[in-house]
Structure formats: structure tokens, C-alpha cells
Structure 1
């Protein structure tokens, strides 16, 4: 199991990223669940848990309106599989990583593939 957190994204881009991951892997969110804007001036953080599997369904490149900041956190294999799925659909810029004994955290920036 790995947690995916999105920041700096529009509601539509967050739904796009989660849609790509939902196509590839089982998640803790129901299929009709989409990110919702919250009232106020605070930045939104959307998160979901995914259970990466060895047999994932790759997706075609998918456009985004802007850039999305993503944090992947979980076991090494799970985070690597989520990274692969995101890399298949988006242009990925990895800008940070932290490794522990049993899990790692990776910070990414996603944009549309050109």
C-alpha cells in the first residue's frame, strides 16, 4: 500500500492524476469519488491510497491543465510501481526523495508529456 498526495493542482488535474492511478491499481476510494474543492483560502491537498500490483494496466499520455506536485509514500516496490505508472502518463520531474528502512517518500512534479 502506498499513499499519493497531490498539491498545487486544480480539481480537474487532481481527478486526472487519480483517474490514471485508479485505472492502473486498486485504491481505497470508490470509483465515483472525485476531488472536491473546499471553501476558504487554504491550499487543497488530495490524497488516496493505492495497492500497486505487479500486473498493472499502463495508460496513454494524459494532458494536464497545469503542473501537479505529488508525494508518493510507502514501501519501496509500491512507490516504484506508482512512479512507473505516472511516468507512462505524464512528464515527471523528481525533485526529492527520502529513504527509510522499510519505506520511502518521493516528491514529483507532473506536467503534460510533449
Structure 2
């Protein structure tokens, strides 16, 4: 794959406003569907206790592996997706299968778009 094709299928996912456990749940869900720059056993870590932590991972959505299943979160997670239009749409569809999501904002450019989402548990109390 050349670099133009790779950048067209790459999505940078940035998570904030959440615990490391919820960040891990989101990243593991996405890693089951797409290749990423994270090692399979890598878990998000706090860099400094008591400070806001932002986690970032890049996913390649060119060849999805498996369909996402609903996932439980302890609290809402703020997610930002940045990449090509098609790639971001693919990532957003996968997140919608796993989580209840609310689009909070979107900025569009010539080649890329940036979407801000609020992810909530895709598994509800009455489903347990």
C-alpha cells in the first residue's frame, strides 16, 4: 500500500475525559475490527496522576476484521476521529455498533474531516 492509500484509510482516534479502563475498552473494541499502531497487550496508562490524560491511537480501516459488539463503559468517553472522509465514516459506523454515540461536532476540509463524539455504554442495565 502506498502512503497516499495508507493515509486515506487511516483514522487517528483520540480519547479524553475518561478512565484508562474505559479508554482500554474503546481501543480494544476498535483493535478487534481494525489494525492499529498499538501492541495487542498494550493498555493505556496514566502519565501523571491527577492530570487530564489524552490517549491517541491510529487505526487502518482498509480491511475490517470483525463486527463490533456492544460494550459497557463506566462513564461517557469523548472521542475525536480524524482522517479521510470514507475512513472516518467507517470508524464511526464501527463505534456506533459498539456504543451509543452522539456527534458533538464536525469540521471538514478538502481531504479530511474531524468528528467529535460522545460515547456511552452500548450495553444497558436491562441487557445484563
Pick the TM interval, shorter chain. over 0.9
Q: Counterparts of 1:28 and 1:55 in 2: how far apart (Å)?
A: 15
Q: Counterparts of 1:23 and 1:40 in 2: how far apart (Å)?
A: 29
Out of 84, 88, 101, the residue aligned to residue 93 of structure 2 is 84
Residue 113 of structure 2 is matched in structure 1 by 104
Query: For the pair shown, which has the larger CA radius of gyration, 1 or 2?
Result: 2
Return the TM-score normalized by structure 1.
Answer: 0.95
Query: 1:10-59: CA deviations, max 9, x gaps?
Result: 01000000000000000011111110012243200000000002544112
- CA-based RMSD of the aligned residues comes to 1.1
Residue 69 of structure 1 is matched in structure 2 by 78
Residue 28 of structure 1 is matched in structure 2 by 37
Residue 46 of structure 2 is matched in structure 1 by 37
Return the TM-score normalized by structure 2.
Answer: 0.85
Q: Which runs of 5+ in 1 are unaligned?
A: none
Q: Counterparts of 2:57 and 2:63 in 1: how far apart (Å)?
A: 19
